[in-house]
Homo-oligomer: A and B are copies of this chain.
Amino acid sequence: MTTKRAAKAATLTDVARRAGASTAVVSYVMNNGPRPVAAATRERVLAAAAELNYRPNRVARALRSRTSGVVGLVLADASNPCFGALARHIEQALGARDKLTLTGNAAYSADRQQHLVERFLAAQVDGLVIVSADGGTDVAAEAEATGVPAVYVHNRPESGRSPVVSADNDAAVHAAVAHLRSHGHDRVAFLAGPHDAGPVGRRRAAWESAVGRTGDTLLRCDYARAAAAGLTRDLVARGAMPSALITATDEQAIGVLAGAWAAGLSVPDRLAVISLDGTPDSAHTAPALTVAEQPLRAMARRAVDVLLDGADGAAAEAVPPASLIVRRSCGCEGG
């Protein structure tokens, strides 16, 4: 009969006793500093630690050293592939810096976002990464008021003054418009979100400047796939579907594809589509989406660097520009 009760975890004091050393020395060898330790002593300590299967208690360490080694990641909604992909890259980048990631989904609710931030702050996070949608309050400011650094990724609320890392929306939109024109479309419609805040608002503005005042149609719908699919079916039914379309997000593009299929409208033959996110999902739609791909991994890395090293200036500039990935939905062959 094996013992069911877990052996009480060994502490630094246990190791010290076993190694015939003081707790201070053990601490020095566990952390490689801040003071030197004789090689022989170090060996004894290491051996004792191994024998006792010692695991440093990060909570005690956090209390004493006032850094938890944990950063909070607040997400508007991880089921949006764009946010989800960012989240993975951020978690990975934090791991590379030896940080653990506390993750929370706010489900597009400002209240829940606020709640999450408060709980993260209470948990003594070393920093906050906020991947939020439009409409939230400036939670980063709240964090910084308590001395915790924070960085926005992708979107920053109107009133925000904390650093943001975002992609170059203008270049992405212009590349997309140019590509569609090279296919012979002189009219290029744009599918925006329900309002003009945040990155999508900037993309819409970029589209306007790119197409000029030529009367190209501006479409709007919610970011959900279902909404875009519904809009597409409507448009086809009314014969009002343009022949070339740029969608503000991959979610919308996927919805458009689904709606077009359901309505019997062939993409790219009768509708050319380019999307502006470039999440991994976009490569495996039917047909595969041509996209202006945001450098999500680079954005994540940059955000973590800004957060941890406080390189406030030139945040956005340091991430590579969006690049056009040509696949099928624009009308090009291959892909």
Contacts and interface: CB of A to CB of B under 8 A. Distances in A.
A84 B80 CA distance: 10
A100 B123 CA distance: 9
A310 interface: no
Contact of A287 (B6, B103, B226, B262): B262
B56 A122 contact: yes
B284 A255 contact: yes
Given A122-B56, A147-B6, A225 B105 contact: no
Interface string A73-84: 100001100001
A57 B288 CA distance: 50
A205 interface: no
Contacts of A84: 78-79, 84
A237 interface: no
Given A63-B59, A63-B63, A284-B255, A105 B92 contact: yes
A59 B123 contact: yes
A283 B55 contact: no
A281 interface: yes
Interface in A130-177: 144-148
Interface in A40-69: 55-60, 62-63, 68-69
A70 interface: yes
Nearest to A87: B78
Contacts of A286: 257-258, 260-262, 285-286
Q: Is the interface of A mostly helix, strand, loop or mixed?
A: helix
A6 B145 contact: yes
B145 A288 contact: no
A124 B59 contact: yes
A288 B124 CA distance: 45
A221 to B, nearest CB: 14
A111 B255 CA distance: 38
Contacts of A9: 146-147
A191 interface: no
18 contacts: A5-B147, A6-B147, A58-B124, A59-B59, A59-B63, A70-B102, A73-B103, A78-B88, A79-B88, A91-B105, A100-B102, A101-B104, A225-B284, A226-B283, A229-B284, A255-B284, A261-B287, A285-B286
Interface of A: 5-6, 9, 55-60, 62-63, 68-70, 73, 78-79, 84-85, 87-88, 91-92, 95, 100-105, 118-124, 144-148, 225-226, 229, 254-255, 257-258, 260-262, 280-281, 283-288, 328
Given A56-B122, A101-B103, A262-B328, 8 more contacts: A9-B147, A88-B105, A95-B104, A100-B119, A102-B103, A225-B284, A257-B286, A258-B286
List the 8 closest A-B pairs by CB distance, nearest first: A6-B147, A261-B286, A225-B284, A103-B103, A258-B284, A59-B124, A286-B286, A59-B62
